[in-house]
Amino acid sequence: MLTSKEIASLAVKALDDKKARDIQILKTDKVTVLADYFILCTATSDTHSKTLADETDKVLSLAGEPVLRREGYRSGGWTLLDFGCVIVHIFSEDMREFYALDRLWSDAEKLDYKELL
């Protein structure tokens, strides 16, 4: 069984490998019981969003951590992948700006995603 940091690391690597933009990691364990990490990124199109979601799901499933819940996959504007202790948010540029989770969760610790690669 992987730690939440290992799950976050695998997710970030999958997103980075598929050219996700503006990857941001929020360490949320001290501010919410929802998850230990929120990973936010931006997709360049609906197709790119699906590719990012599929790759993240595949990489983590192969590591023994299948997605528990997937929301918004068909719409592409905001796809959420729930791995329990890690939640991945894949946004279109407009949706990311509109929902501004980075600001909403500004009290969470921000990590440089390159530290997890």
Check residue 116 and give its pLDDT. 75
Residue 30 in domain: yes
In the predicted model, what is the mean pLDDT of residues 6-29? 97
In the predicted model, what is the mean pLDDT of residues 101-106? 91
In the predicted model, what is the mean pLDDT of residues 107-112? 93
CATH number at residue 70: 3.30.460.10
Residue 11 in domain: yes
Torsion angle defined by CA atoms of residues 63, 68, 73 and 76, in that order, rounded to the nearest 10 degrees:
-80
Total domains present in the chain: 1
Give residue for tokens 């990857």: 23
Q: Report the percentage of the chain scoring pLDDT > 70.
A: 100
Residue 64 in domain: yes
Residue 117 in domain: no
In the predicted model, what is the mean pLDDT of residues 12-37? 96
Question: For residue 41, what are the domain limits?
Answer: 4-112
Q: What is the pLDDT of residues 29-70, one digit of tens each?
A: 999 999 999 999 999 999 999 999 999 999 999 999 999 999
Spatial separation of the C-alpha atoms in residues 96 and 110, rounded to whole Å:
17
Residue 56 in domain: yes
